[in-house]
Structure 1
Amino acid sequence: MCGRFAVTLPPEAMVNLFSAVPANDPPDVPNYNVCPTNSVHVVTSDDGSRRLQAMRWGFLPHWYKTPNDGPLLINARAETIAEKPAFRAACRERRCLIPATGFYEWTKDGEGNRLPWYISHEDGSPLVFAGVWQAWDKGETPLVTCAIVTTAAEGAMKEIHHRMPVTVDEENWPLWLGEDGKGAAVLMQEPPSDGFRIYRVDRAVNSNRARGPELIEPIE
């Protein structure tokens, strides 16, 4: 799964990276501890015109009467996304890209303490997660929400967690966004990249109130 991540790219850099038009409500960055229900940067495409906008991380299906009407859907499994009622329409019609600098996963020691690990590209380049999005308008304030697509972990990641985000390489962004027609499902079936740097970080990140660049500093 993916339950926390970090974003350090300035909005201007994201606009240039994706050749996107920025919206007027970008989330604050850098954010070294992006948590569920936070506002995150998301790239969408409408007839080939890309937009960088803010969405709530935590997908709300159209039948939820309130944001707390069911489970918090921050992830969507690649293996079942096309079948699940919550995600199947979004998988066909509302795919998006979610940029990140890295993400966190946890193991446990012999005493049951949660030990955080930080995962990023070895070369320092941004991660781009496959996502799906949904507009939800059942409350007083309409929300645009998203979830990160996950797949089975491979390589060194398997030692940390059995799931990981689906990452999309730049040459495949048009396919995932629907700009290159149909066939995006193949991107969820490709083996995950093994070009990751993985290291332990301080347990301070276990708190959703923790902030600051020290959260991604490696520890012995």
Structure 2
Amino acid sequence: MCGRFTLFTDFETIIDRFNIDFAIEESLYNPNFNVAPSQSVLSVINDGEKNRLGYLRWGLIPPWSKDMKIGYKMINARSETISEKPSFRNSYKKKRCLILADSFFEWKRTEERKIPMRIKLKDNQPFGMAGLWESWKSPEGETIYSCSVITTQPNQLMTEIHDRMPVILKPEDEQFWLDPTNTDINSLNKLLVPFDFEQMEAFEVSNEVNSPKNNSPSLIQRIC
């Protein structure tokens, strides 16, 4: 699964890297060294004409749900089943997004303990995780926009850490993924593959990352 990540890249770099046409005010952007489920995550959607940058709640709430708490169970969507699951299949066809990150955390199990690992691109660039989004209206009439990170099988780097990893899209595939007019499932499925392990690296970080209450640059520092 993917249950924790970071995004602290400067705002202008994000705008340029992801070809943003319309964005939230820069003052609303808060670098986050320990993004956790139910928090707001910076994401890109395409409205058919423009790439729009804004925040979505992490944990997808299907429009038919009676309770937003279902979102806590919907932070990830498995690539192998999203075209079939009632919670995700409509979003997969029409409401795809990029969930932005510059690294993610996963816990490597050993006989003694679980070791927090930070995984990132070797060139330190931000990347887009393939995501799905939805809008949900509460009984009180409030509309909540939420999302889920799509996961896939691990690549050669991740296989020693965990049995799943987020789908990280190649930059050249991002616009095709975002375009809501692209509805061919077979073409979309071809994008949901493990990212090239040779472009990634992983290292141990502080146990402080275990708690989502902790959020500081010290969490991303290499221990060994």
Distance, in Å, in 1 between the alignment partners of 2:174 and 2:133 is 16
Of all paired residues, the percent bearing the same amino acid is: 36
Give yes or no for contact 1:26–1:53 (8 Å, CA) kept in 2: no
Which residue of structure 2 aligns with residue 116 of structure 1? 116
RMSD in angstroms over aligned alpha carbons?
A: 1.8
Tell me the TM-score normalized by structure 1: 0.92
Helix, strand or coil: the match of 2:118? strand
Q: What is the TM-score of this pair, normalised by structure 2? A: 0.91
How far does residue 179 in structure 1 lie from its aligned partner after superposition? 6.3
Distance 1:130 1:152 in 2: 14
- The DSSP-based 3-state class of the residue aligned with 1:16 is helix
Matching residue of 1:45 = 46
> Cα gap change, 1:136/1:7 in structure 2, threshold over 3 Å: closer, same or farther?
same
Unaligned runs of 5+ in 1: none
1:14 corresponds in structure 2 to 14
Give the superposition deviation at 1:115.
1.5
C-alpha distance in structure 1 between counterparts of 2:67 and 2:204, whole Å: 37
Alpha carbons 1:2, 1:150 under 8 Å: kept = yes
Q: Deviations over 1:78-102 (max 9, x none)?
A: 0000000000000000000111010
Question: Which has the larger helix fraction?
Answer: 2
CA shift, 1:28, in A, is 4.0
Task: Please say which of residues 91-100 and 7-16 is displaced more in the overlay.
Answer: 7-16
2:130 partner letter? A
What do the CA deviations read for 1:175-202 (whole angstroms, capped 9, x no partner)? 10126734222101x3432121100001
Partner residue in 1 for 2:156:
155
State yes or no: 1:193 paired with 2:196. yes
User: Over residues 93-143 of structure 1, what are the superposed CA-to-partner deviations in whole Å (9 max), with x where a residue is unaligned?
Assistant: 0000111010000023324x3310000001111121000000011243321
**Which runs of no fewer than 5 residues in structure 2 stay unpaired?**
none
CA–CA separation in structure 1 for the residues paired with 2:66 and 2:25: 28
The ranges of structure 1 where at least 4 consecutive aligned residues each deviate by more than 6 angstroms after the TM superposition are: none
Letter in 2 for 1:203: N
CA contact (8 A) 2:152 2:194 kept: no
Q: CA deviation at 1:12?
A: 2.9
